[in-house]
A and B are shown apart, each in its own frame.
Chain A
Amino acid sequence: MTPVFYTKYLHKKNIQGTCFNSQLLGRGEPLKQQDEEFIRKLDLMAVKIRKHVIEMLYRAKSGHPGGSLSAVEAIVVLYFHHMKHNPQNPKDPNRDRFVLSKGHAAPTLYAALAECGYFDIKELHLLRQINCMLQGHPVCTHIPGVEASTGSLGHGLSFANGIALAGKLDKKDYRVYVMVGDGETNEGQIWEAAASAAHYRLDNLTGLLDRNFLQIDGKTEDVLRLESVRDRWSSFGWNVIEVNGHNIAEIIDALLSASEQKNQPTMIVLNTVKGKGVSFMENNIDFHGVPPNEMEYTLAMKELNAAQKALEATL
């Protein structure tokens, strides 16, 4: 793969970050278009991923729309712009790694992996079906591209720490990214891992906190107060960056800035909207773990198709 750098969005223009383009967007060819157009391409990919997610959950008749939809842009930026990875060689020892600690957002991860070419897009339609590859929650043993088995909340950050420690030990320059849900940080293990990552100065680790303010039983601040999220992470010794978690350019910027940070891990707080992209799912707790019915599916697809058309018109 040929690296592609989008320097316009760097804080410092001379960074040689680990920005590799994966297949679909450019397929290794440096893009010739303007950066704005590239951003729109990623926005378009985000819409495509959302359509996959709705399709998958509708067919599976179960799963988690809300937290899958809030996580889309960050995962799109990681897999289609920022991370160094190779769908043809998922076990490449020098690859960047992504751990989806909030495993219930599996549909988004699977859709991104399929769009990258880790496996056939047709697999997506078999999510959660018996005798099929895509399990309800990610499993690393037999899904190409999945780094960690998750689903029981709170483990992923520790797992990512292990990858980061191995990278330091082997003097490899790969990076590890881990997405944690905001509700997930109720788990005590997250804070064990937060302390550990800072203690070992894991600057090759970047966390992404999907701050969508909702969890199953209600608003995060009503269930178990999280604020100040920024203060919590920084008091544990983390570099904290806050961005609009649906703004591609901001996420690109934050990831590059995190890659530059020395001697401490970075937590990118993604301020997101649960259910983002489907009007009636947005900020609606009823869609945490309930799939769309036929009518909702039709409506959601209509909205997403319109969004896709609008973006395509600009390209």
Chain B
Amino acid sequence: MANPRDAYGETLVELGGKLQNIVVLDADLSKSTKTILFAKKFPERFFEMGIAEANMISTAAGLASCGKIPFASTFAVFATGRVYDQIRIDVAYSEANVKIFATHGGISVGKDGASHQMIEDLALMRVLPNMTVLAPSDAMETRCLVRLMATTEGPVYARIGRANAPVLYKKEDMGNIEIGKGLMVRDGSDATLIACGTMVDQAVDAAERLSKSGMSVRVVDMHTIKPLDITLVLKCLKETNAIVTVEEHSVIGGLGGAVSEVLAENGSRVDFKRIGVQDIFCESGEPEELFEKYGLNASHIVKTVKKLLK
């Protein structure tokens, strides 16, 4: 296990040493988002904005207009919904080189309850023109995508979860990682699981269990929700008999929404299901309990695939 948040904080420090124009902003959550690591190393380039997220986003846009590469961080719920208008005008419409990096995305925030469980952020950010949307799945992928965020011009939103995540990748697996290109984690011919973020690990687990029942299941880590790797989705459509999307997000508007748009527009008649939060607010609980109750774990994925392939 490794914590993607630590990976984020450490990568910011690494980038801070290489790129003088990296600046970091946080809204009184630097200990949780791990931007505190950057703050300690480069105090003059860290801006504590207090509990004032709207001001943080617009300030980041102002910094970007002067050639800075601002990373603005807070929890996903405050980094998107609360500041939608600021992101819309000052970041997306303005094509500002602002990087919004959110932690504590999805329901695995757990006991804080639905107020803090952000299940709409990918949808909110995906609908914005000019916005790139990322959801890395483990610590190593987080490192690589944060580096790419810094060197990719334009607005980017990325979200990770709160919890430790199983290690999915080694350094050498990340050689060709690119924003906008999904990774085939595991090949298979019967069905494809297209997952992102915390759910990639659950999808891999499910695929392993399904293989024991004689089903060959492909797993795609779709770390970039936008621009979506349409080529890869269409390849999976051609090569496998069923497609299931899995995300720690509402089934509306996020990865499932994006993939279903591609499938529908390509006249697909493939068997298709979206696994995610089914258009409801969840509740307080342990992450595992929540995943079980709201159908976001490997055993639920197994059931769904089996039903589809029947």
Contact = CB atoms under 8 A, between A and B. Distances in A.
Interface of A: 93, 99, 139-141, 147-152, 154-156, 158-167, 169-170, 188-189, 192-193, 195-196, 199-200
Given A147-B65, A149-B94, A196 B50 contact: yes
Interface in B3-23: 23
Given A169-B44, A193-B55, 20 more contacts: A99-B62, A148-B94, A149-B94, A150-B89, A155-B54, A155-B90, A158-B57, A158-B62, A159-B59, A162-B58, A162-B62, A162-B65, A163-B63, A163-B66, A170-B66, A189-B58, A193-B58, A195-B50, A196-B52, A200-B47
Nearest to B59: A162
B93 interface: yes
Contacts of B55: 158, 161, 189, 192-193, 196
Interface residues of B, number: 30
B59 A161 contact: yes
A166 B85 contact: no
B95 interface: yes
A141 B94 contact: yes
Contacts of A154: 54
Interface string B44-87: 11010110101101111111111110100000000000000110
Given A166-B68, A167-B66, A159 B54 contact: no
Interface of B: 23, 44-45, 47, 49-50, 52, 54-55, 57-68, 70, 85-86, 88-90, 93-95
A196 B52 CA distance: 9
A140 B90 CA distance: 10
A193 B67 CA distance: 21
A196 B55 CA distance: 8
Contacts of B61: 148, 159, 162
A141 B52 contact: no
B47 A148 contact: no
A189 B84 CA distance: 13
A84 B57 CA distance: 27
A162 B94 contact: no
Nearest to A189: B54
Contact of A169 (B45, B60, B94): B45
A152 B248 CA distance: 32
Given A139-B93, A195-B50, A155 B67 contact: no
A147 B90 CA distance: 11
A188 B49 CA distance: 15
B246 to A, nearest CB: 36
Nearest to A149: B94
A200 B44 CA distance: 12
Closest 4 pairs between A and B when the two form their complex, measured CB to CB? A162-B62, A158-B58, A166-B66, A192-B55
A164 B90 CA distance: 16
B89 A151 contact: yes
Contacts of A200: 47
A196 B60 CA distance: 13
B60 A162 contact: yes
Nearest to B66: A166
B64 A162 contact: yes
Contacts of A152: 85, 88-89
